[in-house]
């Protein structure tokens, strides 16, 4: 088990090379010495307000220097940090704050006692307090809440030792050096953000903090990659598709991809567009990443999960926890130094998922992932799917049961189910308790507690849910309703067209409609059909915007798609932007 921690590694780098650039925020470089000074003052302030070993500090800040300082300072005090993404629903955040029993919260918008702002952590006076002693490696470094089958999120406690282990293993696997430049673009609420923020700062490298919202803007990200000469980028397959759509090609990037299953065609495209493509896999409960395939594609062009990281053991077991032969599907269990403490305040759930490791040293535990895999003849693991109802949707881990449990609380719903159709189309099914509820009403009901990125794209009303012979939900028999389509709209330039609308034969509208049809994979589209009714979402928008930029030569702000979610509205915005272009 690693005897060091992230705070200790960062402090050593800052002491050895104080003038080296540690971070770039809003285009401004910050040296290791200056960052260490900011962290020392913030840690001292947090300690005065009660942070320390055994305490939990929430962080509700946008990506930027203040957020980075807050993370490092909380870790330095020995407290655990809890990410609270301000984009999540208020009900979700309130539950998490209460369940985690926060000692303090760092936020731009203080609301209650115990809330501190970045100004409260800023340096005061000329002197710099010493950094606190390195925390005990067994202490929790962070708590991250994930989806639960009952709709109640569960907090995973990850110790410093586990965090140091995965960062050290990735350092060695990637051959990380002080010359590396990492792009940080992931929300702090995703544990993979720790790799982007902390791996460079523990290896003497540089982290470039992408502005908030930039993860949705492919052209802006490409510009940032070139401007800052980025060498390493980590993203989900959906995020990489966004960059490819924006024109990513022929780069010297080292690309890490994980968080979702990586389709072989996407892996091939990324292999051609980057210098090195690494496929990483791991659940939150075993600390970010647990296996690594480098290169992502094997000699047969297949995508695998690769082999375990350092100090990690991977078992493919049957239902009686016996190893299965190579080539036979089994459930993946992970053991070793990356295994988390468990679920905060949930001993029963912890015991059911974190089990004694019968193949490890005395007292060792293993985590039951719920993922089905099989080993290829060479030993690499191939991902086959889930053994339960958990899915990955646009990088978010989601229990279908969480959707179903929330829908069932609606007074107009008698029974509910959910299913993933394709890679990113989530369908909700309801059996009404009377008149069928309106889809917009169901969406609003879910949006009160679930992030927008995991809301269903379509809603279907059924007379009854299909059941298996033993009376359980037959999820495979749920019908695919197809994309929701509104009533036919007037044709472009028809009687209801306004003065800013296109007339017959408008080339811009035709081009926008062709792009929508390509991205949405629909053959017939009307100019007034709502993008979100057609199954669109944030990643769809970025793909459309990238194609509009390439085809029509203008960058449509992403807000336009929310304000005017029709092809006619987007075409009007394109014409306005073309008219404004000198």
pLDDT in tens, 132-146: 888 999 999 999 998
Least confident of 260-269, 280-289, 491-500: 491-500
DSSP 338: T
Residue owning tokens 């179903």 = 404
Residue owning tokens 């309130």 = 94
CA distance 402 to 92: 12
Q: What is the pLDDT of residue 233?
A: 97
Residue 216: is its pLDDT beyond 80? no
Using alpha carbons, list the distances in angstroms from residue 111 to 73, 92, 106, 450, 557.
22, 16, 11, 22, 32
Q: What is the pLDDT of residue 494?
A: 36
Q: What is the pLDDT of residue 384?
A: 81
Angle at 178 between CA 172 and CA 180, to 5 degrees: 85
User: What does the pLDDT look like over 451-462, one tens digit per residue?
Assistant: 776 788 889 999
Percent of residues, the chain, with pLDDT higher than 90: 51
User: What does the pLDDT look like over 474-519, one tens digit per residue?
Assistant: 777 888 876 544 433 333 333 333 333 444 458 899 899 989 888 8
Q: What is the pLDDT of residue 298?
A: 86
Residue 261: is its pLDDT beyond 70? yes
- Answer for the pair 57, 72: CB distance below 8 angstroms, yes or no: no
Q: Which residue has the higher pLDDT, 119 or 559?
A: 119
User: What does the pLDDT look like over 303-342, one tens digit per residue?
Assistant: 899 999 999 999 999 989 999 998 888 999 999 999 999 9
Least confident of 169-178, 311-320, 375-384, 568-577: 375-384
Q: What is the pLDDT of residue 444?
A: 87
The torsion angles phi and psi of 558, rounded to 5 degrees, stand at -65, -25
Least confident of 166-170, 464-468, 543-547: 464-468
Residue 212: is its pLDDT beyond 50? yes
- What is the mean predicted confidence (pLDDT) over 96-121? 93
Contacts of residue 21, Cβ cutoff 8 Å, sequence gap at least 6: 29, 30, 31, 32, 206
User: What does the pLDDT look like over 14-58, one tens digit per residue?
Assistant: 999 999 999 999 999 999 999 999 999 999 999 999 999 999 999
Q: What is the pLDDT of residue 192?
A: 93
- Answer for the pair 230, 184: CB distance below 8 angstroms, yes or no: no
CA distance 197 to 352: 32
Q: What is the pLDDT of residue 499?
A: 32
User: What does the pLDDT look like over 230-253, one tens digit per residue?
Assistant: 999 999 887 888 899 889 999 999
- What is the mean predicted confidence (pLDDT) over 401-425? 82
Residue 470: is its pLDDT beyond 60? no
């Amino acid at each position: 088990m690693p005897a060091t921690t992230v705070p200790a590694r960062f402090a050593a780098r800052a002491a050895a090379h104080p003038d080296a650039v540690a971070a770039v925020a809003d285009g401004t470089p910050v040296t290791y010495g200056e960052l260490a000074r900011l962290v020392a003052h913030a840690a001292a302030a947090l300690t005065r307000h009660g942070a320390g070993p055994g305490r939990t500090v929430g962080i509700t800040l946008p990506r930027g220097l203040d957020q980075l300082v807050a993370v490092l300072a909380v870790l330095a005090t020995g407290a655990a940090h809890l990410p609270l993404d301000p984009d999540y629903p208020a009900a979700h955040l309130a539950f998490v704050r209460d369940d985690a029993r926060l000692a303090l919260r760092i936020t731009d918008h203080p609301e209650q006692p115990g809330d501190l702002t970045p100004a409260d952590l800023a340096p005061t006076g000329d002197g710099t307090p010493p950094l606190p002693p390195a925390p005990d490696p067994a202490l929790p470094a962070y708590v991250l809440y994930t989806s639960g089958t009952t709709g109640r999120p569960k907090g995973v406690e990850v110790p410093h030792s586990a965090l140091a282990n995965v960062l050290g293993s990735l350092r060695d696997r990637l051959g990380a050096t002080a010359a590396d430049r990492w792009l940080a673009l992931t929300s702090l609420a995703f544990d993979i953000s720790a790799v982007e923020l902390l791996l460079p700062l523990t290896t003497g490298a540089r982290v470039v903090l992408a502005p908030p919202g930039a993860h949705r803007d492919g052209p802006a990200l490409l510009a940032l990659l070139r401007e800052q000469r980025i060498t390493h980028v980590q993203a989900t397959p959906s995020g990489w598709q966004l960059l490819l759509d924006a024109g990513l090609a022929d780069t010297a990037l080292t690309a890490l991809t994980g968080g979702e299953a990586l389709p072989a065609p996407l892996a091939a495209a990324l292999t051609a567009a980057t210098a090195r493509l690494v496929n990483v896999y791991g659940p939150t409960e075993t600390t970010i990443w647990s296996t690594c395939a480098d290169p992502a594609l094997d000699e047969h062009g297949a995508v695998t999960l690769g082999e375990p990281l350092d100090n990690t053991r991977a078992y493919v077991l049957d239902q009686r926890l016996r190893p299965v032969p190579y080539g036979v599907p089994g459930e993946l269990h992970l053991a070793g130094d990356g295994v988390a403490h468990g679920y905060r305040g949930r001993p029963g759930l912890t015991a059911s998922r974190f089990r004694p490791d019968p193949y490890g040293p005395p007292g060792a535990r293993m985590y039951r992932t719920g993922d089905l895999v099989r080993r290829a003849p060479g030993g690499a693991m191939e991902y086959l799917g889930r053994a339960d109802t958990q899915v990955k949707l646009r990088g978010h881990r989601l229990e279908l049961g969480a959707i179903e449990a929330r829908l069932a609380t609606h007074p107009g719903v008698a029974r509910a189910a959910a299913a993933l159709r394709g890679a990113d189309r989530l369908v909700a099914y309801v059996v009404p308790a009377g008149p069928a509820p309106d889809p917009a009403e169901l969406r609003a009901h879910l949006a009160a507690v679930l992030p927008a990125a995991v809301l269903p794209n379509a809603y279907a009303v059924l007379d009854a849910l299909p059941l298996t012979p033993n009376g359980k939900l037959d999820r495979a028999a749920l019908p695919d309703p197809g994309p929701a389509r509104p009533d036919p709209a007037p044709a472009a330039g028809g009687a209801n067209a306004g003065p800013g609308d296109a007339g017959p034969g408008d080339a811009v509208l035709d081009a926008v409609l062709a792009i929508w049809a390509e991205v949405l994979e629909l053959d017939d589209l009307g100019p007034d059909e709502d993008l979100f009714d057609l199954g669109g979402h944030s990643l769809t928008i970025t793909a459309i915007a990238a194609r509009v930029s390439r085809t029509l030569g203008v960058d449509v702000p992403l807000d336009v798609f929310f304000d005017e979610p029709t092809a006619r509205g987007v075409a009007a915005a394109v014409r306005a932007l073309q008219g404004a272009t000198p």
